[in-house]
């Protein structure tokens, strides 16, 4: 089941939580909605589920308009971060709930419900725990029960709002892998909300980056990491160095470093900002052999040993801008540098955005 969000605007009184959002989620994909807190992720999910109505725009499921359809008729499964299971019901009854409250006509028989619940328990790897109560389970187990409960009604797709957000790192990693596996097995369309870029990158076929109620970029994890559409996406996806400079004579100057551009109009002069990742900063103790226009000198302010990687805090001698470099421990040992050493720095993979 594909989901189409067309020109959606959602306001609460004078505050606009979603501004003209467009989105296409192809059938069978696992899509992550990624953005900082308050960017409108939950609002978008609630609109798709039918828990809220937009002021403008439409929501289509497989081409069919569902904008004003009741939440109960949409056949979506959802799991929220703090999805309270029914505390007074055991796991079996929790999972069976959605089926057992159906009207007589559509309700499966007791035997059918039992069979369904047991196959779901198997799917979420909680066989044998049917008679426990939620308080007797770990956080990770509870979220798997919540998923089984959402799946019990055979939804057309799953909406997950930071389902692992409240769990510790190790359990989260396990659940991510498990969700990926489950998705492969069921082939269900899944829309997954997270504010954790690593989680989005690891899990998703497509990532939708949101900020302040807008969609900033949609793409595969590779695309958004290596070709971020704008400075927001760039900065949100990992550690970043910023260098300030200008476009001049068809070239970009960031301090003494110079970059060719495909800027046609040589007369244009404008402020520009170069973004680069710390792992793309190349450090050497001797000047680069072929004198490179992309090299500058810098002083090492601080060295942080972070297990397998080493991070250097540096200061450029030309512009006095501070920045970070990351490298393997092995590379760091080869360099044989210490704090206050002066080194040569070559800037690779700089993304230039012009201030406008």
Binding site for ligand ADP (CB under 6 A): 12, 15, 17, 35, 37-43
Q: With contact defined as beta carbons under 8 Å apart, do 345 and 296 qualify?
A: yes
Cα(48)–Cα(61) distance, integer angstroms: 9
Q: Which does 116 bind (CB under 5 to 8 A by kind): Mg ion, ligand ADP, none?
A: none
**Is the CB of 152 or the CB of 160 nearer to Mg ion?**
160
**Is the CB of 17 or the CB of 113 nearer to Mg ion?**
17
**Is the CB of 71 or the CB of 305 nearer to Mg ion?**
71
Q: Which does 217 bind (CB under 5 to 8 A by kind): Mg ion, ligand ADP, none?
A: none
Task: Specify the residue for token string 């012009």.
Answer: 354
**3-class secondary-structure state, position 205:** coil
Q: Are strands 76-80 and 157-161 parallel, antiparallel or unpaired?
A: parallel
Residue from 261, 15, 50 nearest 157 by CA: 50
Q: Which does 238 bind (CB under 5 to 8 A by kind): Mg ion, ligand ADP, none?
A: none
Cα(46)–Cα(32) distance, integer angstroms: 15
Contact set with Mg ion (CB under 5 A): 42
**Is the CB of 36 or the CB of 271 nearer to Mg ion?**
36
Q: With contact defined as beta carbons under 8 Å apart, do 354 and 247 qualify?
A: yes
Q: With contact defined as beta carbons under 8 Å apart, do 312 and 324 qualify?
A: yes
Q: Which does 43 bind (CB under 5 to 8 A by kind): ligand ADP, Mg ion, none?
A: ligand ADP
Cα(268)–Cα(249) distance, integer angstroms: 7
**Is the CB of 20 or the CB of 249 nearer to ligand ADP?**
20
The token pair that represents 315 in the structure block: 């200061």
Q: With contact defined as beta carbons under 8 Å apart, do 298 and 315 qualify?
A: yes
The token pair that represents 126 in the structure block: 């909680």
**Is the CB of 44 or the CB of 91 nearer to ligand ADP?**
44
Least Å distance between CB 215 and ligand ADP? 12
Least Å distance between CB 177 and ligand ADP? 24
Count of other CB atoms within 10 angstroms of residue 121: 20
Strand segments (E) across 94-169 = 157-161
Least Å distance between CB 289 and ligand ADP? 49
- CA 309 to chain centroid: 24
Least Å distance between CB 41 and Mg ion? 5
Least Å distance between CB 235 and ligand ADP? 17
CA distances from 64 to 5, 58, 67, 74, 137 (A): 11, 10, 9, 11, 40
- For the chain, how many residues are written? 356
Q: Which does 94 bind (CB under 5 to 8 A by kind): ligand ADP, Mg ion, none?
A: none
**Is the CB of 42 or the CB of 197 nearer to Mg ion?**
42
Least Å distance between CB 229 and ligand ADP? 19
Q: Are strands 295-306 and 157-161 parallel, antiparallel or unpaired?
A: unpaired
Q: Which does 139 bind (CB under 5 to 8 A by kind): Mg ion, ligand ADP, none?
A: none
Q: Which does 15 bind (CB under 5 to 8 A by kind): ligand ADP, Mg ion, none?
A: ligand ADP
Q: Which does 38 bind (CB under 5 to 8 A by kind): ligand ADP, Mg ion, none?
A: ligand ADP
**Is the CB of 81 or the CB of 90 nearer to Mg ion?**
81
Least Å distance between CB 14 and ligand ADP? 10
Least Å distance between CB 193 and ligand ADP? 7
């Amino acid at each position: 089941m594909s989901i189409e969000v067309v020109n959606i605007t959602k306001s609460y009184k004078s505050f606009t939580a979603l501004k003209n959002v467009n989105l296409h989620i192809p059938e069978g994909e696992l899509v992550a909605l990624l953005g900082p807190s308050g960017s409108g992720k939950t609002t978008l999910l609630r609109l798709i589920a039918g828990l809220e109505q937009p002021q403008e725009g439409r929501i289509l499921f497989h081409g069919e308009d569902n904008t004003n359809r009741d939440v109960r008729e949409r056949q979506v499964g959802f799991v929220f971060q703090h999805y309270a299971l029914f505390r007074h019901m055991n796991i079996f009854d929790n999972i069976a709930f959605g089926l057992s409250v159906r009207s007589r006509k559509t309700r499966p028989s007791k035997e059918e419900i039992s069979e369904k619940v047991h196959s779901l328990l198997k799917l979420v790897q909680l066989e044998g725990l049917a008679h426990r109560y939620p308080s007797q389970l770990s956080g990770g187990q509870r979220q798997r029960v919540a998923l089984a409960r959402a799946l019990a009604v055979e939804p057309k797709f799953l909406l997950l709002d930071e389902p692992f957000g409240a769990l510790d790192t190790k359990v989260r990693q396990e659940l991510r892998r498990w969700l990926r596996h489950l998705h492969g097995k069921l082939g269900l369309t899944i829309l997954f909300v997270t504010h954790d870029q690593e989680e989005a990158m690891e899990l998703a076929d497509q990532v939708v980056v949101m900020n302040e109620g807008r969609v900033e970029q949609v793409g595969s994890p590779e695309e958004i990491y290596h070709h971020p559409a704008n400075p927001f996406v760039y900065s949100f996806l990992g550690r970043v160095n910023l260098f300030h400079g200008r476009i001049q004579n068809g070239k970009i100057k960031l301090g003494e470093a110079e970059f060719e551009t495909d800027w046609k109009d040589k007369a244009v002069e404008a402020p520009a900002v170069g973004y680069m990742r710390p792992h793309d900063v190349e450090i050497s103790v001797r000047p680069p052999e072929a004198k490179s226009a992309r090299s500058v000198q810098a002083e090492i302010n601080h060295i942080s040993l972070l297990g397998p990687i080493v991070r250097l805090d540096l200061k450029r001698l030309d512009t006095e801008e501070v920045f970070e470099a990351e490298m393997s421990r092995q590379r760091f040992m080869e360099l044989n540098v210490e704090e206050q050493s002066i080194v040569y720095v070559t800037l690779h993979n700089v993304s230039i955005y012009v201030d406008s």
